Amino acid sequence: MLHLVFCWHFHQPDYRDADGQYQLPWTYLHAVKDYADMAAHLEAAPNFRCVVNFVPTLTAQLLDYNQQFESGELRDPLLAKLISSDLYALPAAAKRRLIEQCFKVNHPTMLEPFPAYKRLYTLWKTIDESDAAGLAYLSEQYLADLVTWYHLAWTGETVRRARPDLLTMLAKGEGYSLEERRALFDLYGEVIASLLPRYRRMAERGQIELSATPHSHPILPLLLDFQTGRDARPDLALPKAPGYPGGAARAEVHVQAALLDHHAHFGQHPAGFWPAEGGVSDAAVQLLAKAGVKWAASGEGVLRHSLAAAGRDLAQKSSWCYTPYKLPRADTALFFRDDHLSDLIGFEYKSWHGSDAARHFLHALDEIRRHAATPQPLVSIILDGENAWEYYPFNGFYFLSELFGALAEHATLRTSTFSDFLELHPESLAELPHLVAGSWVYGDFCTWIGDAAKNRGWDWLVAAKHAYDGAFDKLSADDRDKAEALLKSCESSDWFWWFGDYNPADAVSSFDRVYRQKLKRLYETLRVVPPLYLDSPLCQGGGGMESGGVMRRGGA
């Protein structure tokens, strides 16, 4: 018998600025397209078991959107435009931004299948070079149809199939009224409000295990020690600061906050963690163990580096990859992602016929089972629950339906959760002498530290933390809460992911701007004058293509 654990990682960076205004819309769009679809696929295959990982910053944003839909006080400008009664009155620059935003989809799967949406794009490309004259040519109805189509394209395939009113809107194609746009707005609100309760119900009936991530998605090993960046990359350039001040205490804050947040929303403490970006080190795992975390997971590269450092022969993957591990001085079990199988789903199968991809995946698992070197082999598939699907036809509907259905009834493959596997097979834990610190991305931390812009971002954060330490005790209770929330947000790994010259320029600019704004607001809350360097961009963006959100290498 081969044990199989899927861990779907649900994460969106906190797109809110220091005033609570959303700078990017990806949280609510992915919610209606991807988190809703995943819930429906799981509900349709009740014997398929897996782990679903919620990052607290995503949960907070979903709840914030619930409040926006209920109150009508909208803090997301794109969502507000969906129900605007006067789109034509937008200034020219805002009109252009709206149009450009509404074509930020994967065109082959989300635009080209819809002739009416494609006509809107063709018209825009025809007149785009006319600049102001072209914008003036576009009517209010064009803008209304465009913002409607963008939101229609971002609805999940299972949502469409369950809502005849949505299918009617898709079939209509053009001439959408304000009443119809408000109906679509209400549908979005209904879907988003249902998400957390749906996943909680599946957890309560034992189909899924809900896991967590340290609160604001920080890289725990780097908070604890910048030098861990050199475990896998000895030549890595580090920030000027020798380390993050009080990093151990800050890492513990994020872990404890995640435990409390998870219990508040799901009714129980999580047994396991997917540390942000799978970032682990000996000290980070010991911190998780101290907090009572029973398991954590990371990438195959970390395991490969760690076993190589211990002198293990890595020639046969079946002899070392498909078992959990344990460090000598920590009770937290460690699971490691199968990079090849996870990346097949994240990147390769999008161009396959759904049933062919499912059969290929099952065959690959059967080959692992036949050649397994351990009595209870376990394969860990860990990837995003959102970013791959926009590249699949029908949002991955046919692939996921076939795969989940086949696995749920398979004779020699058993889908499980990490906690259940540990309960059934505690003897399977292998000894790992030492972790070579790293993440799921190449087994190192180069995505978050080492680049000049990333290191500058760390040095700016270190300076802000010194100011925080010097002023915190003098603040009122209310300002302490505000300062703590701002600091936690600034400690997120998501800022450092984007800093550098290889990412899309508009995304880099947005994250750069909000990071500096939050640092400035932190200084102001501390009653400290912000440094002048926060008035200038930290880095220059690259020129890549931006898709609908954070597309992570390897899919997690």
DSSP per position, 345-402 = IIIIGGGS-HHHHHHHHHHHHHHHHHH-SSSS-EEEEEEESSTTGGGSGGGGHHHHHH
- Decide: helix, strand or coil at residue 403: helix
Does pLDDT of 512 surpass 80? Answer: yes
CA angle at residue 519 from 516 to 524, to 5 degrees? 125
Structural domains for the chain:
1-67+193-556 (3.20.110.10), 68-192 (no CATH)
- Residues 161-187 have a mean pLDDT of 97
pLDDT at 381: 98
* Residues linked to residue 273 through DSSP beta bridges, in sequence order: 212, 296
Distance CA 188, CA 199 (A): 17
Q: pLDDT confidence of 539, banded at 50, 70, 90?
A: confident
- Taking each helix axis from N to C end, the angle separating 140-153 and 115-127, rounded to the nearest 10 degrees, works out to 130
- Residues 88-100 have a mean pLDDT of 94
- Decide: helix, strand or coil at residue 20: coil
Whether 349 and 399 have beta carbons less than 8 Å apart is answered as yes
Query: Which distant-in-sequence residues (6+ apart) come within 8 Å of 46 by Cβ?
Result: 207, 408
- Taking each helix axis from N to C end, the angle separating 56-71 and 247-266, rounded to the nearest 10 degrees, works out to 50
Distance CA 440, CA 225 (A): 18
- Residues 166-179 have a mean pLDDT of 98
Whether 49 and 381 have beta carbons less than 8 Å apart is answered as no
- Residues 504-527 have a mean pLDDT of 94
pLDDT tens, residue by residue, 337-391: 999 999 999 999 999 999 999 999 999 999 999 999 899 999 999 999 999 999 9
**414 HSE (CA, 13 A, CB side):** 12
- Residues 42-51 have a mean pLDDT of 98
Percent of the chain residues past pLDDT 70, beyond the cut:
97
Residue predicted with more confidence, 502 or 456: 456
Whether 500 and 422 have beta carbons less than 8 Å apart is answered as no
- Residue owning tokens 């030549």: 235
pLDDT at 553: 34
Does pLDDT of 502 surpass 80? Answer: no
Whether 28 and 35 have beta carbons less than 8 Å apart is answered as no
Does pLDDT of 37 surpass 50? Answer: yes
pLDDT tens, residue by residue, 404-448: 999 999 999 999 999 999 999 999 999 999 999 999 999 999 999
Which of 125-129, 141-145, 178-182 is predicted with the least confidence, judged by mean pLDDT? 125-129
Does pLDDT of 234 surpass 50? Answer: yes
- Residue owning tokens 């990982």: 53
- Residue owning tokens 């992911």: 497
102: burial class by Cβ within 10 Å (0-12, 13-18, 19+)? buried
Side-by-side strand order, sheet with 325-326: 272-273, 295-298, 333-336, 325-326, 430-431
Q: Per the structure block, which two tokens stand in for 230? A: 């050199």
pLDDT at 482: 98
Residue 9 region by backbone torsions, left for phi larger than 0, else alpha for psi between -120 and 50, else beta: beta
Does pLDDT of 146 surpass 90? Answer: yes
Which of 131-145, 157-171, 198-212, 355-369 is predicted with the least confidence, judged by mean pLDDT? 131-145
Does pLDDT of 50 surpass 60? Answer: yes
213: burial class by Cβ within 10 Å (0-12, 13-18, 19+)? buried
Query: Which distant-in-sequence residues (6+ apart) come within 8 Å of 387 by Cβ?
Result: 346, 547, 549, 550, 551, 552, 555
Q: pLDDT confidence of 132, banded at 50, 70, 90?
A: confident
DSSP code string of 299-316? -HHHHHHHHHHTT---S-
Q: pLDDT confidence of 540, banded at 50, 70, 90?
A: low
pLDDT at 507: 83
What is the overall mean pLDDT for the chain? 95
pLDDT at 552: 41
pLDDT at 130: 77
Q: Per the structure block, which two tokens stand in for 53? A: 């990982």
- Residues 284-294 have a mean pLDDT of 98
pLDDT at 377: 97
pLDDT at 545: 31
Q: Which residues of 379-415 are buried (b: 16+ CB within 10 A; e: fewer)?
A: bbbbbbbbbbbbbbbbbbbbbbbbbbbbbbebeebbb
Q: Which residues of 501-516 are buried (b: 16+ CB within 10 A; e: fewer)?
A: eebbeebbbbbbebbb
* Residues linked to residue 414 through DSSP beta bridges, in sequence order: 3
pLDDT at 136: 86
Q: pLDDT confidence of 549, banded at 50, 70, 90?
A: very low
Whether 368 and 2 have beta carbons less than 8 Å apart is answered as yes
Cα four-point dihedral sign 395, 194, 28, 186: positive
- Residues 274-295 have a mean pLDDT of 98
- Most distant CA pair in the chain: distance in Å? 72
Percent of the chain residues past pLDDT 90, beyond the cut:
92
Whether 505 and 542 have beta carbons less than 8 Å apart is answered as yes
pTM reported for the whole predicted model: 0.95
Distance CA 418, CA 382 (A): 12
Which of 33-37, 89-93, 219-223, 255-259 is predicted with the least confidence, judged by mean pLDDT? 89-93
